A = this chain, B = another copy of it.
């Protein structure tokens, strides 16, 4: 009896880890979200597949319902895999699932994955840290729980590079907050559908980025490391072929 909480990586099915493939192959049950790439499920040769993904805006299953499914399946089967995009502990609510399973005495094993926050920029040649330019990076969600009374994110992060996940819906208001502490000319890079075939990369600045047509899911990178990315064009990669300027 064990439940593996497994990161599926940023989207490209080749960016999954060997360990994730191994646990998928042995799984009796795989419980998965709307994944960046469903090809990954093909490794789960003998598993029953249970979809618990969320539709945009609304929950398909509540987190409590998902936790209960994990508990029920964990008690019934030898090897259960809970597959999540990116890394299960970077805005993946994996911590809540781990605690729920732990409270029921079900052993949990964690399998980290490449988070899209890092994997997508690295893939296109955008270094999140760079000597003399950025010695720190902050990863933050742009989409806070709307039921909270007070907004927890203050947007006055001091790190050189800022990476915003789920940042499209509130881009305009968040960028306004960021400009209270950063130059409006600070370069910004948006990566839509990172590491996938339909990836699109858009560059701009804090003051103009929210005027552009950007679609979810997208990652927003703020900081002078974006200038390094601009320097290296044209590269061989598919990603950079899809690059367009604001």
Contact B131 A145 (CB under 8 A): yes
Does chain B have a CB within 8 A of A44? no
The answer to whether the Cβ of A7 comes within 8 Å of any Cβ in the partner chain is: yes
Q: A110-B122, A113-B114, A228-B99 are in contact. Are A138 and B153 (CB under 8 A)?
A: no
Judged by a CB distance under 8 angstroms, whether A187 is at the interface is: no
Contact residues of A between 115 and 148, Cβ < 8 Å to B: 115, 118-119, 121-131, 135-141, 144-145
Give the Cβ gap from A104 to chain B, nearest Cβ, in Å. Answer: 12
Instruction: Tell whether A223 is near chain B: CB-to-CB under 8 Å.
Output: no
**Given A110-B122, A115-B118, A136-B153, A95:B17 Cβ within 8 A:** no
A125 to chain B, nearest CB (A): 6
Does A90 reach chain B (CB closer than 8 Å)? Answer: yes
Complexed CA–CA distance, A10 and B126 (Å):
20
Most buried by B among A16, A21, A114: A114
Chain B hits for A156, CB < 8 A: 158
Interface residue total, chain A, C-beta cutoff 8 A:
71
Cβ contact within 8 Å between A114 and B17: yes
| B87 near A108: Cβ-Cβ < 8 Å | no
Q: Point out the residues of chain B lying under 8 angstroms from A90, CB to CB.
A: 118, 128-129, 137
How far is it, in angstroms, between the C-alpha of A96 and the C-alpha of B231 when the chains are bound? 12
Binds B, one of A51-59, A66-74, A232-240: A232-240
- Bound-complex Cα distance A73 to B21 (A): 33
Let me know if A98 is at the binding interface, CB within 8 A. Answer: yes
Q: Is the CB of B112 within 8 A of A15?
A: yes
Interface: A2 (CB within 8 A) = yes
A197 at the interface (CB under 8 A from B): no
Given A109-B237, A137-B138, A138-B159, does the pair A122, B12 have CB atoms closer than 8 Å?
no
Smallest Cβ-Cβ distance to A63: which chain B residue? B131
1/0 per residue, CB under 8 A from B, across A69-95: the answer is 000000000000000000111110111
With contact pairs A136-B138, A232-B102 given, residues A17 and B9 touching in the complex (Cβ less than 8 Å): yes
Across chains A and B, which 3 residue pairs bring their CB atoms closest together, nearest first?
Answer: A95-B127, A107-B236, A112-B122
18 intermolecular pairs with C-beta atoms under 8 Å apart: A14-B19, A17-B17, A87-B122, A90-B118, A95-B129, A95-B228, A96-B130, A98-B127, A99-B232, A102-B232, A102-B235, A108-B125, A112-B114, A136-B153, A136-B157, A154-B158, A156-B158, A157-B159
